[in-house]
Amino acid sequence: MINTIKYEKFVNQLKQFIEKEKLQNQSTLGKILKVNNEIIDVSLKKPIKLPLNTHLEVNKIQCTLHKNNQKNIQLKTKHPQHFQKNQTIKINNIQQDIILSKIQQTLTNIEENKINQENKETLKTIINQQKTTYTQKKYTNKKLNPKQEQAVKKAITTEKFHIIKGPPGTGKTHTITQIIRQLYQEQQTILLTTHTHIALDNILEKLDDIPQQDIIRLGINEKIAPTTQKYTLQKQLQQHPKYKQIQQLQQQSKTTITHNNKQTLLSKLINKIINTEEIKIQQLQEKEKIEEQEKTREQIEKIESQIQEELLDNAKIIATTVISSSNYLTRNIEFDYTIMDESSQIPVYLAIIPLMKTDKFLLIGDDQQLQPISNKNASYFLNKSIFNLMIEKYPKNHTFLDTQYRMNEKISQIASKLYYNNKLKTHESAKKKQIQLTNNNYYLLDNSTITFIDTTNTTYNEDVISGGCQNTHETLLILKIVEALIDNQIREDDIGIITPYRKQKLNIQSHLRKHKYNIETDTIYRFQGREKDVIIISFCKSSYKSLTTFQKKFLGNTNQLNVSITRSRKKLIIIGDYSLLSTDENLKAFLDSISPLDMIYLEDIIR
């Protein structure tokens, strides 16, 4: 039986969250300054705190946020003809509206008892303390290491849930695909969800052996990788035998429209010379033709709806991001399993959307990597990632993937010692990975796996700007290192640059563009899930002032540090001011784990 007090507290927290979000998500007024093709410059009455590429509705026209600079923003739209200079506009965050409506619908289903017994058991597991058990079954797979094999076996034998903790490079995606294959063979229906489209497409790309018609990929087409477009509902619909009926009706409609257009031109000429009675007859005929077109459109929509329903009913695997998992197309579908990858980035208030549609569920993630961005309108419980909540409640119900295949052993040893209690091992195939220097241009480079360039006691101070951090000295140093790497036959695509600060990211990108370098540069949050042969980390902060409490908390966040370190396969280059950064204990522990032999003191070089 569900604990009534905990249940009521959970429901009330969700209600309060929805109410606060609705209040915050009210329309914003603005004035158009300029319309330039698809780009619209707008001045706002009050700033909007939204990430770039957020989907917005502007005077009921679809737009995306292209640039955001406090009260001045840029919008991008495919319908610029609807906008003009000095026009007053109303901006709505439809993306957030959709999310809130989905959470509200889930809450309504819970309150009105519209969830089945298995959903209730899931809710008990999240709110109460409800352990799971496992059935006995033999399972072996030579494609998996012992821990991966154990994870698959636990996943397919659980009575309710299982948790898989996968540090960087341990083969989470490989393990997930083996779980899917096994469940597919057992005729289980699967809802596959992730936090990002990239992670979802990475999994689907490895499922080519499963018939295409058994997988449906839901989501916005432009966010879906070209390699997995074949799984979308639209592509599947076009391959369905009934689609010929739609094509015939569309052709018939085109012919009617062409004929009507010719008739309309002719009727304009004739109307001048014929009497009023004949005009009325002609108008009646035109009305009948419009009604005929409308009837054809309704027929097309009916056939499309039938095909979609059939495809979804027959699909064994439906793949979508967590936010899209309550798509109206899946509203009445109950799944045997929900597999939630990247669940350490998914807060409880979003996770309940797919979890209220399933009998059993699997959570894959890592509590030592990035967590959800905290939402001030949500309680501590709702803000917590579903992965962290469950692994803390049920530590015995998780499998730790203990062997990494990505990075040189020296890099993984730091991560293992600092973040995984020395339990993370390196596979033989990865232990000796390193870059090879091929010529004499090796500016600050050597064959070692890790290099820390210490800018202490130099003039490499950060730029004087308001808010955030920008350090042009570090940027110019990065340019020289990039040039040396490329001279040593390291491809641009194999180099990545990470910084904690958005302004420093933009600064580095701007300088790279000037030198015609195309190198992926981003903040730590945007780099999770990515990997490169060479990673350069720019810590940016360097000044005569001490780090503030907030800066220490931000820069010294162990989850961020772990992600930064473990993006690299062969070479990790870190640029920072040791004297300043080491005032935070987490940063000090990280920097002190680097061998003195791998440190370059810049003040000795530039004297």
Question: φ and ψ at 188, to 5 degrees?
Answer: -85, 140
| Alpha carbon distances (Å) from 575 to 536, 538, 553 | 8, 5, 19
- 586 and 526 in a common domain: yes
Read off the amino acid at residue 362: L
- Average of per-residue pLDDT across 391-402: 97
The angle subtended at Cα 386 by Cα 382 and Cα 389, nearest 5°, is: 85
DSSP 175-222: HHHHHHHHHHHTT--EEEEESSHHHHHHHHTT-TTS-GGGEEE-S-GG
- Average of per-residue pLDDT across 73-84: 93
Band (pLDDT 50/70/90 cuts) for residue 333 is confident
Q: Report pLDDT for 469.
A: 95
- Residue 294 belongs to a domain: yes
- 225 and 120 in a common domain: yes
- 170 and 67 in a common domain: no
3-class DSSP assignment, residue 551? helix
- 182 and 124 in a common domain: yes
Q: How far apart are CA 390 and CA 392, in angstroms?
A: 5
- 361 and 344 in a common domain: yes
Domain end among 401, 436, 471: 401
pLDDT in tens, 545-564: 899 999 999 999 999 999 99
Q: Report pLDDT for 280.
A: 63
- 127 and 164 in a common domain: yes
3-class DSSP assignment, residue 509? helix
pLDDT in tens, 433-492: 999 988 876 778 888 999 999 999 999 999 999 889 999 999 999 999 999 999 999 999
Q: How far apart are CA 220 and CA 217, in angstroms?
A: 10
- 480 and 365 in a common domain: no
Provide the residue range defining the domain that includes 87: 26-92
Q: How far is CA 405 from the centre of its chain?
A: 23
User: Which residues, at least 6 apart from 439, have a Cβ–Cβ distance to it below 8 Å?
Assistant: 487, 488
Band (pLDDT 50/70/90 cuts) for residue 272 is low
549: CATH: 3.40.50.300
Strand partners, 454: 576, 601
Cα atoms in the 13 Å half-sphere on the side-chain side of 336 = 15
- Residue 16 belongs to a domain: no
- Residue 12 belongs to a domain: no
Do 317 and 179 touch, CB atoms closer than 8 A?
no
Q: Which strand (E) or helix (H) includes residue 42?
A: strand 39-44
Q: Return the closest-CA partner of residue 411 out of 432, 442, 438.
A: 432
Band (pLDDT 50/70/90 cuts) for residue 284 is low
Domain end among 92, 114, 139: 92
- Residue 183 belongs to a domain: yes
- Average of per-residue pLDDT across 492-511: 97
37: CATH: 2.40.30.20
Q: Which strand (E) or helix (H) includes residue 75?
A: strand 72-76
- Residue 13 belongs to a domain: no
Band (pLDDT 50/70/90 cuts) for residue 279 is low
User: Which residues, at least 6 apart from 270, have a Cβ–Cβ distance to it below 8 Å?
Assistant: 282
- Average of per-residue pLDDT across 356-361: 95
- Residue 2 belongs to a domain: no
- Specify the pTM: 0.89
- 377 and 231 in a common domain: yes
3-class DSSP assignment, residue 287? helix
- Residue 310 belongs to a domain: no
- 153 and 269 in a common domain: no
Match 């350069």 to its residue by tokens. Answer: 536
The angle subtended at Cα 331 by Cα 330 and Cα 332, nearest 5°, is: 95
On the question of pLDDT at 110 being above 80, the answer is yes
- 394 and 418 in a common domain: no
pLDDT in tens, 562-577: 999 999 999 999 999 9
Q: Report pLDDT for 274.
A: 54
- Average of per-residue pLDDT across 9-35: 94
Band (pLDDT 50/70/90 cuts) for residue 252 is confident
- Average of per-residue pLDDT across 191-217: 95
Count of structural domains, the chain: 4
Q: Report pLDDT for 25.
A: 86
- Average of per-residue pLDDT across 489-517: 97
Domain end among 281, 304, 327: 304
User: Which residues, at least 6 apart from 347, have a Cβ–Cβ distance to it below 8 Å?
Assistant: 372, 375, 378, 382, 383, 384, 385, 386
What sections of 276-432 are H helices per DSSP?
276-314, 348-355, 380-383, 386-393, 409-419, 428-431
Q: Report pLDDT for 397.
A: 97
- 333 and 214 in a common domain: yes
- 298 and 231 in a common domain: no
Q: How far apart are CA 573 and CA 453, in angstroms?
A: 7
- Residue 547 belongs to a domain: yes
